[in-house]
Amino acid sequence: MIYLEKVSKKYPNNTMALSGITFAINKGEFVSIVGHSGAGKSTILKMIIAEDAPTSGNVFYHSADIHRLGRRDILDYRRKVGIVFQDGRLLPNKTAYENIAFAMEVAGRQDEEIEADVPGVLKLVGLQDKIWNFPHELSGGERQRVAIARAIINQPDIIIADEPTGNLDPINTVDIINILKKINELGTTVILTTHNKNVVDALGKRVITLDSGKIVRDEKKGKYAL
């Protein structure tokens, strides 16, 4: 579904962030990308969401090279990818409901669909009692749940979560990971970055370990795939 082929990225200041990264992610997988700060995790995600282009190598979504798509096709592709950031990035002047409704409006969904879908997705993430709270009236963990609800509301093929638990305590971390697991079990591919070893150990799913822009391990359920 996603295939990175010999992807290298050198930033304009000559930092070699990625060196010849090759891996494939199949539909329905839950893949964690781990590594120390500066290992290249965020850069890989930027390559996958086409926010930045590789210096060499290719990134495919099914058979399409996403860095060769036209503007319209890029927008179509981005609609298939839901993103959750470490800091949630909710709109501060909109309630939980309105944050999600807004994502649906931008995607051109009708009012009836919005009214039908938003309460259900907030229930899925366990926030049915906080629908009308503004972000500042929610805890960090609750804000991340809204961010996840917003990322999945338009039924993307893939959820990309960039250190979604980076600012959370251990209990909220477990909750967020369990929600991502549930979404994965419902059929969505999940790509997660984290530097938290406990998170990936608890998941028991595939882990790609990066060090200085290279894959040093690609391990699926205890077996080395490299």
Listed ranges 10-18, 69-77, 83-91, 107-115: which one lies at the site for ligand ADP (CB under 6 A): 10-18
Q: Does 132 bind ligand ADP (CB under 6 A)?
A: no
Quick one: which of 2, 4, 41, 183 contacts ligand ADP (CB under 6 A)? 41
The structure tokens listed for 81 are 């990818």
Quick one: which of 42, 95, 188, 189 contacts ligand ADP (CB under 6 A)? 42
Which residues fall within 8 angstroms of residue 200, CB to CB, at 6 or more apart? Answer: 32, 34, 194, 207
Rounded Cα distance, 144 and 87, in Å:
8
Rounded to the nearest whole angstrom, what is the least distance from the CB of residue 185 to ligand ADP in the complex? Answer: 27
Q: Does 13 bind ligand ADP (CB under 6 A)?
A: yes
String marking each residue 19-38 x if it binds ligand ADP according to CB under 6 A: ----------------x-xx
**Hey, which bits of 100-175 come out as E strands?**
158-162
Q: In this structure, what is the dihedral angle of CA atoms 104, 106, 108, 111, given to the nearest 10 degrees?
A: 50
Rounded to the nearest whole angstrom, what is the least distance from the CB of residue 13 to ligand ADP in the complex? Answer: 5
Q: Does 156 bind ligand ADP (CB under 6 A)?
A: no
Q: Does 15 bind ligand ADP (CB under 6 A)?
A: yes
Give how many residues touch ligand ADP by CB under 6 A: 12
Residue closer to ligand ADP, measured from CB, 20 or 119: 20
Distance of CA 173 to the CA centre of its chain: 15
The structure tokens listed for 214 are 């290279």
Q: Does 59 bind ligand ADP (CB under 6 A)?
A: no
**Hey, which bits of the chain come out as E strands?**
2-10, 16-25, 30-34, 56-61, 64-65, 81-84, 158-162, 189-194, 206-211, 214-220, 223-224
The structure tokens listed for 25 are 């992610």
Residue closer to ligand ADP, measured from CB, 44 or 81: 44
Site residues for ligand ADP per CB under 6 A: 11, 13, 15, 17, 35, 37-43
